[in-house]
Amino acid sequence: MARHRAGSENAERARGTSVMRTHAVDTVDLRILHILLANGRATNVEIAAFANVTAPPTLRRTRTLEDQGIIRGYHAALDGRKLGFEVMAFIQVRLASQSSDHMRRFEDMMSRLPDVRGCHALSGHRDFLLKCIFRDLAASQHFVTDTLLKTDNVASVTTAFCIHVTKDAPGVPLALADVAAPLPARRKLKLPPPPRS
How high is the mean pLDDT in each 10-residue block of the chain (197 residues)?
Answer: 43 46 81 93 95 95 95 93 97 96 96 97 96 98 97 96 93 83 47 62
**pLDDT of 91:** 98
CATH code 1.10.10.10 region(s) in the chain:
2-75
**pLDDT of 96:** 96
| C-alpha–C-alpha distance, residues 188 and 169, integer Å | 18
| C-alpha–C-alpha distance, residues 99 and 106, integer Å | 11
The domain 81-161 is placed in CATH, from the list 3.30.70.920, 3.30.1370.100, 3.20.20.70, 1.10.3720.10, at: 3.30.70.920
| C-alpha–C-alpha distance, residues 128 and 51, integer Å | 39
Torsion of the alpha carbons at 99, 104, 109 and 110, rounded to the nearest 10 = 100
Judged by phi (left if over 0) then psi (alpha if -120 to 50, else beta), residue 69 lies in left
**pLDDT of 93:** 98
CATH code 3.30.70.920 region(s) in the chain:
81-161
pTM for the full predicted model:
0.75
Domain 2-75 is of which CATH architecture?
Answer: Orthogonal Bundle (1.10)
| C-alpha–C-alpha distance, residues 189 and 30, integer Å | 9
List CB contacts of 61: < 8 A, sequence separation 6 or more: 28, 29, 32, 51, 53
